Amino acid sequence: MRIFLPLLLLLINGCQSTSFDSNAGEYVKHQIRESVVESFTNEEVWRLRGAQVGYVETNYCQVDYRDLTPSTNAFISELKVKTQKLGGNALVFDSCIKGGNVSCHKLIQCRGMAYKITYNQ
């Protein structure tokens, strides 16, 4: 046991400066940029000549008034996931509408438009 702790500390310290490098280069950087969903305004998407791929929407139903309501950023993150599933890499967030109905104490619906922007290499 006396040897185990110093050996463990030595291994942890030795791995601290380890880094990994790849020769994949620009191709991988381009692929990553194409797959990451970013938020844009309508004007920016138009200027970048984005192609519309679809409408995205997410809903939240608060059944119990004690439940926490997700933040707007959480809704936008969900819209970005749906954008990526449609094959897009750009999201123009529209709005969130709050209301309620018989089964939901608070109902929130957020919407946006998914686009595909092709970047020059």
Tokens, residue 100: 């309620």
- CATH architecture observed for domain 37-121: 2-Layer Sandwich (3.30)
76-106 pLDDT, tens per residue?
Answer: 999 999 999 999 999 999 999 999 888 898 9
pLDDT of residue 29: 46
Mean pLDDT of the chain: 81
pLDDT of residue 40: 97
pLDDT of residue 100: 81
Tokens, residue 1: 């046991």
pTM: 0.69
pLDDT of residue 120: 73
Tokens, residue 23: 């020769």
Domain range annotation of the chain: 37-121
pLDDT above 70 covers what percent of the chain? 70
pLDDT of residue 25: 55
Instruction: Name which of 30, 46, 58, 59 is nearest 115 in CA terms.
Output: 46
pLDDT of residue 102: 83
User: How many residues make up the chain in this entry?
Assistant: 121
Give the residues of the chain that fall short of pLDDT 50. Answer: 8, 15-20, 27-33
Instruction: Name which of 83, 91, 80 is nearest 41 in CA terms.
Output: 91
pLDDT of residue 52: 97
C-alpha R_g of the chain: 22
pLDDT of residue 65: 86
Helices (H), the chain: 4-14, 26-35, 42-47, 72-85
